[in-house]
Amino acid sequence: MEVVILPGSKQIASLAADAVEALLRRKPDAVLGLATGSTPLPVYVELAARHERAGLDFSRVRAFALDEYVGLPAGHPESYREVIAREFTARVNISPANVHVPDGAAADIPAACRAYEDAIRDAGGVDLQLLGVGTDGHIGFNEPGSSLASRTRIKTLIEQTRRDNARFFGSLADVPHHVLTQGLGTILDARHVILIATGAQKAQAVRDLAEGPVAAICAASVLQLHPHATILLDEAAASSLRLADYYRHSYDHKPAWQGL
């Protein structure tokens, strides 16, 4: 796990976009794993700008969202299918047919989850997975207690997460209780994982995920088992880390050839 502490979200967005750009130049038909939430938005803005300005080409890219609410009507503005399109994929040249989101409206939920796992596998697996983190340490919607080997499935949201996400819905009552999410085992299969956290409200989750034990009580701690996980933080999100000075020193002295 590499922890990189940067001054703010602009620098984080630029570094994460560099990683996506390097991947697309190497592999134009790469498979991207996309996260929702507010944290990755500056990355999407930066990628859209690079597409606009420099022709960064997404025409052959395939994309898989991490998760989706269960039970929202098709076209609901806060469904993650809509959010991902609005915030990112419609602003670059990814074909809508290549953007996959778990089907939270499926009549047969277990079958929809299996189909999602199959689709990721048939695409060759995720090359680069972007992640945010919940204040309770969830990634995707893998709430505390999630199996570290879990695959795409239905989960029940913890009330803290519903409260955190109520700002998007207007009222807490409108936030669904159930979601579909890639499992922790699914996320671990991605070849490279970049988790971004900003703001003091994420400091405890960041400490738990990077420096705590690998334990289901902090789902994101499973990334300690990933061979290529990069954690991009601003100063506030990094403020509770014990080894912050070591992370800064390592990044400052990183061999130039290594990249992210």
Does residue 88 interact with ligand GLP by CB under 6 A?
no
Choice from 5, 141, 189, 230 touching ligand GLP (CB under 6 A): 141
> What span, in angstroms and rounded, lies between the C-alpha atoms of 111 and 113?
5
67 is an active site residue: yes
Residue 134 tokens read as 């919940």
Q: Are 170 and 140 in contact (CB under 8 A)?
A: no
Does residue 140 interact with ligand GLP by CB under 6 A?
yes
Does residue 35 interact with ligand GLP by CB under 6 A?
yes
Contacts (Cβ under 8 Å, ≥6 apart) of 155: 141, 142, 143, 146, 178, 179, 180, 181
> What span, in angstroms and rounded, lies between the C-alpha atoms of 244 and 113?
38
Residue 28 or 77 with smaller CB distance to ligand GLP: 77
Question: CA gyration radius for the chain?
Answer: 17
Does residue 133 interact with ligand GLP by CB under 6 A?
yes
| Largest interatomic CA distance in the chain | 53
Residue 184 tokens read as 């922790």
Residue 36 or 56 with smaller CB distance to ligand GLP: 36
57 is an active site residue: no
Does residue 36 interact with ligand GLP by CB under 6 A?
yes
Residue 5 or 66 with smaller CB distance to ligand GLP: 66
159 is an active site residue: no
Residue 224 tokens read as 């300690």
Judged by CB under 6 A, the stretch of 10-18, 50-58, 127-135, 144-152 that binds ligand GLP is 127-135
Site string for ligand GLP, 147-176 (x = CB under 6 A): --------------x---x-----------
Residue 141 or 247 with smaller CB distance to ligand GLP: 141
11 class by beta-carbon count within 10 Å (0-12 exposed, 13-18 middle, 19+ buried) = middle
Residue 98 or 182 with smaller CB distance to ligand GLP: 182
Q: Which helix (H) or strand (E) holds 194?
A: strand 192-197
Give me the residues that bind ligand GLP (CB under 6 A), please. 35-39, 66-67, 132-134, 140-141, 161, 165
Q: Catalytic residue numbers?
A: 67, 136, 138, 143
